[in-house]
Amino acid sequence: MNDNTTWHYENFDPTGSAIGYRITRKLDEVQSPFQKIEIYESTDWGNLMLIDGAMMLTTKDNFLYHEMMSHPALFTHAAPKRVVIIGGGDCGTLREVLRHPGVESATQCDIDEQVTRMAEKWFPELCESNGDARAELLFDDGVAYMANCPAGSVDVVIVDSTDPVGPAEGLFNKAFYESCFRALKDDGILVQQSESPLMLVELIREMRGEMGKAGFNAFATLPFPQPCYPTGWWSCTLARKSGGFAFREDAARERGFATRYYTAEAHAAALVPPPFLAEALAG
């Protein structure tokens, strides 16, 4: 190993744990009106994007998150045509959404244009669908965007945001979920990243509570591995106005596009919470 490597650690106070990477150099940094974005080169994980010091993604493992934020919801909805992504400025979720040929339009609304500019530069593979005719990239306030969405116009809303502090704080409360509820059709699905199933279950319960106050009454929290996030184990939570989370297994199996983590079996298993999680969510 060359002598210029250093170790960058990120301490996660809420989980009492830390994750670190061996870094070769800082590649870029920009202070946007909203947050500081830094790009590092690592020895084993490709490039890293940090926002206000918090790890957002690595070249090596982002496929886990992006596939699980999109495919479970899109294979659960009977025929998703209109998708909205709130946040998601790195464009990785957008790319996965657009792999579904039935999707007619996908709007990504991230408040911070600089996230997308940095992704284009340092994670170009995530941005390869940005030119798709079905894609719309907005740089605006996601809370306002959802509040102004025509009622009953959206099939799937994906909230692909940072944690509930700073710019993303407004994406984790009843008012925002009410906008999502109103914008979604009756069979629509809301998806949100929902933190560590092992260590942050209270946060998942609070999120489901706020979603419930907004009218959603069916929930599923799907765990998946995500090495670069606290505890290395993450989750997304799906919410519906009614109905369940049975998914189009045959379509998932014969999906006609490549995935690196998502399979029909992984989807099915993620729908069955480990007993400790089922208990914690019920408790």
Interface residue with a second copy, options 17, 129, 130, 173 (CB under 8 A): 17
Q: Is 141 within any annotated ligand binding site?
A: yes
**By CB under 8 A, is residue 259 in contact with a second copy?**
yes
Q: Is 90 within any annotated ligand binding site?
A: yes
**By CB under 8 A, is residue 21 in contact with a second copy?**
yes
Site for a second copy in 121-150 (CB under 8 A): none
Edge-to-edge strand ranges of the sheet holding 218-225: 135-139, 105-110, 82-87, 154-160, 184-193, 233-240, 218-225
**By CB under 8 A, is residue 19 in contact with a second copy?**
yes
* Only segment of 158-166, 171-179, 206-214, 260-268 that touches a second copy (CB under 8 A): 260-268
187 is catalytic: no
**By CB under 8 A, is residue 265 in contact with a second copy?**
yes
The set of residues, in sequence order, having a beta carbon less than 8 Å from that of 8 and lying 6+ positions away, is: 20, 21, 23, 40, 48
Q: Are the CB atoms for 192 and 207 separated by under 8 Å?
A: yes
Tokens coding 83? 């998708």
* Only segment of 78-86, 161-169, 236-244, 268-276 that touches a second copy (CB under 8 A): 268-276
The set of residues, in sequence order, having a beta carbon less than 8 Å from that of 93 and lying 6+ positions away, is: 66, 69, 70, 85, 108, 158, 160
Of 44, 43, 66, 47, the closest CA to residue 58 belongs to 47
| Rounded CA separation 49/60 (Å) | 12
**By CB under 8 A, is residue 164 in contact with a second copy?**
no
Interface residue with a second copy, options 147, 251, 268, 281 (CB under 8 A): 268
**By CB under 8 A, is residue 18 in contact with a second copy?**
yes
Check 160, 186, 187, 250 and give the catalytic one. Answer: 160
Q: CA 88, 92, 95, 96 torsion: positive or negative?
A: negative
Q: Is 142 within any annotated ligand binding site?
A: yes
> How near is the Cβ of 211 to a second copy at its closest, in Å?
24
Give the residue with the Cβ less far from a second copy, 38 or 61. 61
- Strands 154-160 and 184-193 turn out to be parallel
Query: How many Cβ atoms are within 10 Å of 25's Cβ, its own excluded?
Result: 11
Interface residue with a second copy, options 45, 65, 219, 247 (CB under 8 A): 45
> How near is the Cβ of 104 to a second copy at its closest, in Å?
27
- Please report how many Cα atoms fall inside a 13 Å half-sphere around the Cα of residue 26, on the Cβ side: 8
Tokens coding 78? 């009977």
Residues at the contact surface with a second copy, assessed by CB under 8 A: 1, 7, 9, 11, 13, 15-22, 42-45, 60-61, 63, 198-199, 223, 225-227, 231-233, 258-263, 265-266, 268-272, 274-276
Binding site, annotated residues: 35, 66, 90, 110, 141-142, 160-163, 167
Q: Which residues are catalytic?
A: 160
Q: Provide the annotated binding site for S-methyl-5'-thioadenosine.
A: 35, 110, 141-142, 167
